[in-house]
A and B are shown apart, each in its own frame.
Chain A
Amino acid sequence: MESAVSLHSLVKTFGQHRAVDGISLEIPRGIIFGLIGPNGAGKTTTIRMILDIFRPDSGEVKVFGMPAGDQVKDRVGYLPEERGLYRKTKVLEMLAYQGSLRGASPSAARQEASDWLDRLELAEWKGRKVEDLSKGMQQKVQFIGAILGKPELLILDEPFSGLDPVNQDVFKDLMLDLNRKGASIIFSTHQMDTAEKLCREIALLNKGQIVLGGTLSQIKSRFGKNSVMVEFDGDGSFLQGLPGVARVDDYGQYREVRLLNGADPQALLRAAVERVTVRRFEIMEPTLHNIFIEQVGGHVAHA
């Protein structure tokens, strides 16, 4: 089957800055794919090239096997990171307009928008102006705008940023539901834990390049089960000096310790018990966050 999106040696520069520097990527259909990386890694630029908002300097973009362009846009729903609404327009009209831009007739778009507003408990707001809505409601309306017209591919740029926990759940459930009904989803985020929960496959971007890609399980197994999570009372500064320890990440409540290949976790446990009161000790796969930090070096700010 054709990939949902395939990118080949994509390059985009702005002045002196290479925002995207030779990205090649196959995103299969039907999965939730995470485009992950710190701010400025080139995620948004890549997405904009997939949508033909930017033209690449070189390289090739194909969506469902077709070159990016006008016909493709009708099959893709897009929620940009910078998203807004016409403030003075009525909610239903705003959405009907967005739906009609994806190829529907005005009346059909209106009907679909109306159904979604009912479903997301915004029915009574249909006739109100956008500016009367709370921020959380506006976010829902924006999300509906992206999924009108049953897009085969949904591209969400930082969909969870700025959302309250309730809406985060609403969005997450919607995403999973749409995915189950067959939509391919690409979403970008700099929150590694969200990506870890939702994505089957990911690509890690840094400085315009893919530093790591594949299914989450592949990636994790490649790094081995050599992480340890320790929760304890007392001074934990000794951990860094122990033999076999590669690095220690302090999360406040607990620490994640990466071991060198071949190091014995049991030795670590013994050393810890001698010095502090251990409340929890767990051998686990490294978190995406740690993998990423390891890959790009510690000079990337914690996201």
Chain B
Amino acid sequence: MHKLLMVIRREYLERVRKRSFWFGTLLLPLLMVGLVVVQLFLVDLETGKQGKVALVDATGKLSSIFESKLAEEKTKDGKPTFLVEVAPVAGSLEETRRRLEPRVLSGEFLGIVTVGENLDSDSNFRFYARNVGNITAQKAIQGALKAAVVGLRLEKSHLNVGPEELKKLLAPVEMESFEVKARGEAKKRGFDEAYFGTFAFVMVLYMSLLLYGVAVMRGILEEKSNRIMEVLLGSLTPDQLMSGKILGIGLVGLTQVAIYAASAGLLRLYVGLASLQAGWTGALDAISFTTMGYFFTFFLLGYFLYTSLFAAVGAVCNSEQEAQNLQTPLVMCLVIPMVMTFFFVAHPDSPYAVVASLIPLFAPMLMFMRIMVLTPPFWQIALSILLLFLTIYLFFRGVARIFRIGVLMYGKRPTVPEILKWARG
């Protein structure tokens, strides 16, 4: 036990002490946090500030509904976002606007809304601003204007409608998507968000499995090519060496994934407080305790499954070039679920998806993917985990045998049938 711990200790410290580890580990979360913080910052700038809008209205009848409608938009501290200044038309609409423009440039006005006399003509409604890229503000202003104009039109067509009724008539029809979960909780989520969130997780899973599988393989190849293997085997059993390596590097992976998860969790907390736009929260909604639990479960199972195979490749090869060929099928097994993410997110309950997600080599990624999008029946999850455990057990036994023979073999790489013969013992 002491020796196993010593191997784990070395493998862990050796990697965690490297600068490249921290670089890789912190860069991704920092990038994500940075992106979100910048977004928040920008949104904060917008929502925190009041803006004045000049209304140049040739009809002279729009201001009251326009103002009351715009007053519904509030900043974070509850003040109205927009103040409206009704500018009297002096001369033509054009001239009035020109007179006001310096005040836009000076920043006093967020923008100028001009409305011509003829409500039915084209290009009758215009918005002049320094920054026309502010979609949120424009949407609000356009909405208010629309309400005011429709009200005026109704009035002109002699349908007598009061402001309250008008509001009801104009209430927007917006469709929200809800995801049906087995446990009865319904979550608001669209396909894009589901796909984005799931893909992000599966990507992290794929990268970690590949990265750490290859790390184990490289470690073994290094010990072989540096001729250090036999020095170690003087003190260790091959099983101790192999499991120490797999566990040590696994802990490194776990550390990294935990850092990712923690930063995602913090991000979510922060975003939750700041109530960000739907796209972001939707993607981050994926991070619940249940999904994190499943993520770690499938990460670990996938890790043990794949590293044992990568370890076998390392044990029977003498160089990375040699290992390249043998590792290709393993990488393929990891890539297939990645490529099919789109299909599986769209049809998570199709028979193909069900069967594929039970195959142990694909299960870590595919079953997790399905859990992310629809929560499959519990027996399917349990079955895939059980099958994974069984496969890992069988792989470990076989790979330990291959390892014992392979690590001290130099020279010609054994053929695949030979390797399989070793594995059967």
Interfacial residues, chain A to chain B (CB-CB below 8 A):
48, 51-53, 70, 73-74, 76-80, 82-87, 89, 97-98, 100-103, 106, 142, 145-146, 155
B228: chain A residues within 8 A (beta carbon): 83-86
Q: Are A145 and B231 in contact (CB under 8 A)?
A: yes
Residues of B close to A142: CB separation below 8 A: 231
Q: Tell me, rounded to whole Å, the shortest Cβ–Cβ distance linking A105 to chain B.
A: 9
Chain B contacts for A84, CB-based, 8 A? 226-228, 231
Contact B6 A51 (CB under 8 A): no
Pair B237/A78 contact, Cβ less than 8 Å: no
Whole-angstrom distance between the Cβ of B274 and the nearest chain A Cβ: 44
CB within 8 Å: A-B pair count: 65
9 A-B pairs with least C-beta separation: A78-B234, A84-B227, A101-B235, A84-B226, A80-B230, A84-B228, A100-B6, A82-B227, A53-B233
Q: A52, B6: Cβ atoms under 8 Å?
A: no
Answer yes or no: B336 CB below 8 A from chain A CBs. Answer: no
Residue of A nearest to B6 (CB): A100
Residues of A within 8 A of B232 (CB): 101
Interface residue B3 (Cβ < 8 Å from any Cβ of A): yes
Chain B, residues 276-313, CB within 8 Å of chain A (1/0): the string is 00000000000000000000000000000000000000
Q: Which of B9-58 contact A (CB under 8 A)?
A: 9-10, 14
**Residues A98 and B237 in contact, CB atoms below 8 Å apart:** no
Residues of B within 8 A of A79 (CB): 231
Which residues of the other chain, B, contact A76 by a CB distance below 8 angstroms?
234
**A85 to chain B: which residues have CB within 8 Å?**
226, 228, 231
Measured between C-beta atoms, what is the minimum distance from B201 to chain A in Å?
33
Q: Once bound together, how far apart are the Cα atoms of A245 and B233, in whole Å?
A: 50
Q: Are A97 and B231 in contact (CB under 8 A)?
A: no
In the complex, B236 has a CB within 8 A of chain A: yes
The residue of chain B having its C-beta at the shortest distance from the C-beta of A78 within the complex is B234
CB contacts (< 8 Å) of B10 on chain A: these are 97
* A146 CA to B235 CA, complexed, in Å: 10
Chain A proximity of B382: nearest CB distance (Å): 37
Whether a CB of chain A sits under 8 angstroms from the CB of B408 is yes
| 12 further interface pairs, Cβ-Cβ under 8 Å (given A82-B229, A86-B228) | A51-B234, A53-B233, A53-B234, A73-B236, A74-B235, A78-B235, A80-B230, A83-B227, A85-B231, A86-B226, A89-B14, A101-B236
Cα-based distance from A79 to B231 in the complex (angstroms): 7
Shortest Cβ gap from B315 to chain A (Å): 14
Residues of chain A within 8 A (CB-CB) of B9 are 100, 106
Q: Are B236 and A82 in contact, CB atoms less than 8 angstroms apart? A: no
> Which residues of chain B are near A80, meaning CB under 8 Å?
230-231, 234
B98 interfacial by beta-carbon distance below 8 Å: no
Q: Which of A48, A53, A78, A98 has the most CB of B within 10 A?
A: A53
Q: Which residues of A contact B233 (CB under 8 A)?
A: 51, 53
| A83 x B408 contact (CB < 8 A) | no
Q: Is the interface of B mostly helix, strand, loop or mixed?
A: helix
Q: Does B2 count as interface, using CB distance less than 8 angstroms?
A: yes
Complex CA–CA separation, A51 to B238 (angstroms): 12
Contact status of A73 and B234, CB under 8 A, knowing A84-B227, A87-B226: yes
State whether B230 touches A82 (Cβ < 8 A).
yes
- With a cutoff of 8 Å between Cβ atoms, the chain B residues found around residue A78 in the complex are 231, 234-235
- A101 and B230 in contact (CB under 8 A), knowing A73-B235, A89-B14? no
Closest A residue to B237 by CB, please name it: A70
The minimal Cβ–Cβ distance linking B136 to chain A, given in whole angstroms, is 53
CB-CB nearest in chain A for B232: A101
A80 to B6 alpha-carbon distance, docked (Å) = 21
**Cα distance A86–B225 when bound, in Å?**
10
Closest CB in chain A relative to B304 CB, distance in Å? 23
Looking at A73, A76, A101, A142, which has the most chain B CB atoms within 10 Å of its CB?
A101
Q: Which residue of A lies closest to B3 (CB)?
A: A101
B residues within 8 A CB of A89? 14
- 25 sample A-B contacts, Cβ–Cβ < 8 Å, listed by A number: A51-B233, A52-B237, A53-B233, A53-B234, A76-B234, A78-B234, A80-B234, A82-B230, A82-B410, A83-B227, A83-B228, A83-B231, A84-B226, A84-B228, A85-B226, A86-B223, A86-B226, A87-B226, A97-B6, A97-B10, A100-B9, A101-B232, A101-B235, A106-B6, A142-B231
Using Cβ atoms and an 8 Å threshold, which residues of chain B touch A86? 222-223, 226, 228
The complex places the Cα of A70 from the Cα of B14 at a distance, in Å, of 25
Q: Are B231 and A98 in contact (CB under 8 A)?
A: yes
A289 smallest CB distance to B (angstroms): 28
What is the CB-to-nearest-CB distance from A269 to chain B, in angstroms, rounded to a whole number? 51
Q: List residues of chain A with CB within 8 A of the CB of B2.
A: 100, 103
List of B residues within 8 angstroms of A82 by Cβ: 227, 229-230, 410
Query: What distance in Å separates the Cβ of A81 from its nearest Cβ neighbour in chain B?
Result: 8
Which residue of chain B has the shortest Cβ distance to A130 in the bound complex? B226
Chain A minimum-CB-distance residue to B13: A93
CB neighbours (8 Å) of A102 from chain B are 235
A277 CB to closest chain B CB, in angstroms?
51
Mark each residue of chain B from 80 to 110: 1 if its CB lies under 8 Å from any CB of chain A, else 0: 0000000000000000000000000000000
Instruction: Contact check, A53 vs B6: say whether CB atoms are below 8 A apart.
Output: no
State A87–B228 Cα separation when bound (angstroms). Answer: 10
In the complex, which residue of chain B has the Cβ closest to the Cβ of A131?
B226
Q: Which residues of B contact A97 (CB under 8 A)?
A: 6, 10
**Residues of chain A within 8 A of B230, CB atoms compared:** 53, 80, 82-83
In the bound complex, residues from chain A placing their C-beta under 8 Å from that of B235 are 73-74, 78, 98, 101-102
Cα A52 to Cα B404 with chains together (Å):
11
Residues of B close to A87: CB separation below 8 A: 226
A239 to B236 alpha-carbon distance, docked (Å): 56
- Shortest beta-carbon distance, A151 to chain B, in Å? 10
Chain A residues positioned under 8 Å from B223 (CB to CB): 86
Nearest CB of A to B205, in Å: 29
Q: Name the CB-closest residue of A to B7.
A: A101
Complex Cα distance, B227 from A180, in Å, reads 31
